[in-house]
Amino acid sequence: MADSGAARRQSLHGQWSSRLGFILAVSGSAVGLGNIWRFPYVAGENGGGAFVLVYLLCVFGVGLPIMMSEILMGRRGRRNPVATMRLLGEEEAGHAQWQWVGGMGVCGGFLILSFYSVIAGWAVAYIFEGGSGVFRNADAAVVNGVFASLTTSPLISGAWHTAFMAGTIFVVARGVERGLESAVRVLMPALIGLMLVLLGYSMMAGSFAEGVTFLFEPRFDELTPAAMLEALGQAFFTLSVGMGAIMAYGAYLPEEASITSTAVAVVIADTAIAMLSALVIFPIVFANGLDPASGPGLVFQSLPLAFGQMPGGEIIAVIFFLLLTFAAWTSAISLMEPAVAWFMETLEFGRVQAAVTVGGIIWGLGLLSVLSFGPWSQFRFGNGTIFDNIEYLANNVILPLGGLAIVIFAGWIMARISTADEIDPKCGRAYKLWRVGARFVAPVAVVLVLLNALGLF
Ligand code: TRP
């Protein structure tokens, strides 16, 4: 029987305690800086409405089928993404070359976490800035000054980056199952609760109608091919798909858990938080005459204005940036896990040694991003600073190509019986929908967006 080997295969590093544990771990990976920091600023840079529409189409039409593919492949292979793709490639296609897709993903994880940790370091720094009272009744000039003095100083920004990486290495070295589930279980609802409070503030004190119009009224003339690629890249980034992070987590998923309902729940929660974040930020941006297209500083330059005007704003700011730090932390862990699992399984490193090695390399790479917000900010090529180029390469090239390969493998290379065995042996409606998504919708959409961005039609 084609599925007997897979059914008996055991994960090499333990399992999630339950389906809920897995949902929490995957949502912990998905919800992070991508929702709260990146979505608003990229939407702002790309003109709002039409970008948001394409983004939503990409999340549900492309991201969801890929997430399901990653989970099913991960659970079937039960190894790190490189070894899983090699094993499944041998089983389903008769050769090992699919391992290179896993390898590209592992490299993508290094790149993404290198800049992710720098931004997360800013969030850590803002826990202290927020509590210090500097934002009390501050105007945009004061808030911008705080942001600039943090980000342009390689020493300060580098120190927070170091602290964040150290925290990430610490958790990964202990093993991802331990602590992660309970952390997400408490912190995710807290984050959503606080975002709702902030939404209340934005509705009362911000230019709420203007924010809503900006986000949801499509102006299709602003929808350039480059903006569509940004929307696709953001969809991959926010769902953590395209590099094998979800595949690595799927390897620890118990046999009986439903892949479909897990993925749907995570995608909906992730999208809700991104929308919430944008609905909080843009009314503040417009009410204060800020530029929605100001780039990666947007969250750090808009929210403090609101905190400065609220009663108890210091406490709210501290809690907000604390929760943002935790959200980034649970994502960072998932960015490291594929590489760490690879070092353990292939080079036979211990978990601690693997975490320290991988984390150390990523930390070093991150210094490039640190410098590119400071002394090297004038050094520009390709898409801008070094940070801009690393981000572009990872999000707009590696993730879409990786996701495309994953979904083609799951949809076209794997036998129907193998994928059905994981998703639904009875091949019900959810399975059929997934298969249409994986075989047609997702690959066609990714190819069209990529060709379009290359100017090929
Ligand atoms: N999705 C996370 C966020 O929105 C970032 C992230 C975690 C990620 N793991 C990933 C992005 C894997 C791409 C691939 O903050």
Is the CB–ligand 1 distance for residue 434 below 6 Å? no
The first and second tokens of residue 148, run together, are 């600039």
Is the CB–ligand 1 distance for residue 168 below 6 Å? no
The 10 Å Cβ neighbour count of residue 454 is 10
Going by pLDDT thresholds of 50, 70 and 90, the confidence category of residue 179 is low
Contacts of 42-46 spanning 24+ positions with Cβ under 8 A: 42/230, 42/234, 43/215, 43/278, 44/282, 44/285, 44/291, 44/292, 44/293, 44/294, 44/298, 45/230, 45/292, 45/293, 45/295, 46/222, 46/224, 46/227, 46/230, 46/231
Tell me the pLDDT tens digit for each residue of 63-122.
Answer: 999 999 999 999 999 999 999 999 999 999 999 999 999 999 999 999 999 999 999 999
Its pTM stands at 0.94
| Nearest CA among 327, 330, 326, 351 for reference residue 339 | 351
Ligand 1 pocket check: which of 267, 326, 331 to mutate, most ligand atoms within 8 Å of Cβ? 331
Q: Which of 23-27, 360-364, 452-456 has the lowest mean pLDDT?
A: 452-456
Averaged over 337-345, what is the pLDDT?
A: 92
Q: What is the pLDDT of residue 313?
A: 93
Q: What is the pLDDT of residue 1?
A: 34
Is the CB–ligand 1 distance for residue 34 below 6 Å? yes
Spacing, Cα 24 to ligand 1 middle (Å)? 14
Tell me the pLDDT tens digit for each residue of 368-409.
Answer: 999 999 999 999 999 999 999 999 999 999 999 999 999 999
Is the CB–ligand 1 distance for residue 32 below 6 Å? yes
Is the CB–ligand 1 distance for residue 331 below 6 Å? yes
Q: What is the pLDDT of residue 4?
A: 43
Question: What is the C-alpha separation between 114 and 116, in angstroms, rounded?
Answer: 6
Nearest ligand 1 atom to the CA of 328 is 15
Spacing, Cα 237 to ligand 1 middle (Å)? 5
Averaged over 235-254, what is the pLDDT?
A: 94
Going by pLDDT thresholds of 50, 70 and 90, the confidence category of residue 11 is confident
DSSP label at residue 384:
B
Is the CB–ligand 1 distance for residue 240 below 6 Å? yes
Q: What is the pLDDT of residue 398?
A: 95
Is the CB–ligand 1 distance for residue 372 below 6 Å? no
Nearest ligand 1 atom to the CA of 32 is 15
Tell the burial category of 67 from Cβ atoms under 10 Å away from its Cβ (0-12, 13-18, 19+).
Answer: buried
Question: What value does the mean pLDDT of the chain take?
Answer: 93
Averaged over 226-234, what is the pLDDT?
A: 94
Tell me the pLDDT tens digit for each residue of 123-136.
Answer: 999 999 999 999 99
Nearest CA to ligand 1 atom 14: 240
Q: What is the pLDDT of residue 455?
A: 79
Spacing, Cα 73 to ligand 1 middle (Å)? 19
Q: What is the pLDDT of residue 8?
A: 59
Tell me the pLDDT tens digit for each residue of 254-312.
Answer: 888 899 999 999 999 999 999 999 999 999 999 999 999 999 999 999 999 999 999 99
Averaged over 439-443, what is the pLDDT?
A: 97
Spacing, Cα 29 to ligand 1 middle (Å)? 6
Domains of the chain, first to last: 5-453 (1.20.1740)
Q: What is the pLDDT of residue 7?
A: 54
User: Does the pLDDT of residue 440 top 90, yes or no?
Assistant: yes
Nearest CA to ligand 1 atom 7: 331
